[in-house]
Amino acid sequence: MKALLDFLPIVLFFGAYKLYGIYPATAVLMVATTAQMAIVYAIDKKLSAMHKATLALILIFGTLTLVLQDERFIKWKPTVLYTAMAVALAVALWGFRKNFLKIMLGSQLNLPDPVWNRLTVAWMLYCLFMAAINGYVAAYWTTDAWANFKLWGYIFPVTFIIGQGFYVARHMQNDAAPANPDQPPGSAG
């Protein structure tokens, strides 16, 4: 359900773009993302830092796009967001010795610290890749090609998330320890 909710604003943006053009699509994206965040807040009673950053950037870059009638702002928003995420993860990990992924997901996943660190580096590299590819498409392709890339480019995050799932599954630690560490589980004592 949440994955569908995350995908909905881009689908609405793409539909509005195909029917009406970039400026109405930008307004649709702003409204859809605001509604999406309201729903997330109603369900979770909070918004993550990522949700807040995404909403802020969409509203800021969307407003600039509409007020200045310059589509470059909305096209470059993903590059700015992905770059900011990579920098934030890097500064936290290497500057402050804090692992944001572990802080956000550590209560849900029991992983060794080296695995958390590798996941964080993988996310940094993924964000830089996505920033670069969006920047390239925004700079050198038509707006129509960029809009198509935004929709069909979702193969990158889906592939990355699935790969992360396989990697995490290999390294999950079992929370339950046997009552007697000298006795293997399931044997009668």
Residue owning tokens 């992924």: 101
Is the predicted pLDDT of residue 188 greater than 50, yes or no? no
183 within a domain of the structure (yes/no): no
Q: Give, in degrees to the nearest 5, the angle at Cα 153 between 117 and 53.
A: 55
Where in the sequence is the domain holding 154, given as residue range(s)? 2-171
* Nearest-angstrom CA–CA distance, 157 and 130: 9
Q: pTM of the full predicted structure?
A: 0.79
189 within a domain of the structure (yes/no): no
Per-residue pLDDT tens digits for 153-187: 888 988 998 999 899 888 876 544 444 445 455 44
177 within a domain of the structure (yes/no): no
Closest C-alpha to 7, from 136, 158, 160: 158
* Nearest-angstrom CA–CA distance, 155 and 147: 14
Closest C-alpha to 154, from 39, 52, 9: 9
Number of structural domains (the chain) is 1
41 within a domain of the structure (yes/no): yes
Percent of the chain with pLDDT over 90: 64
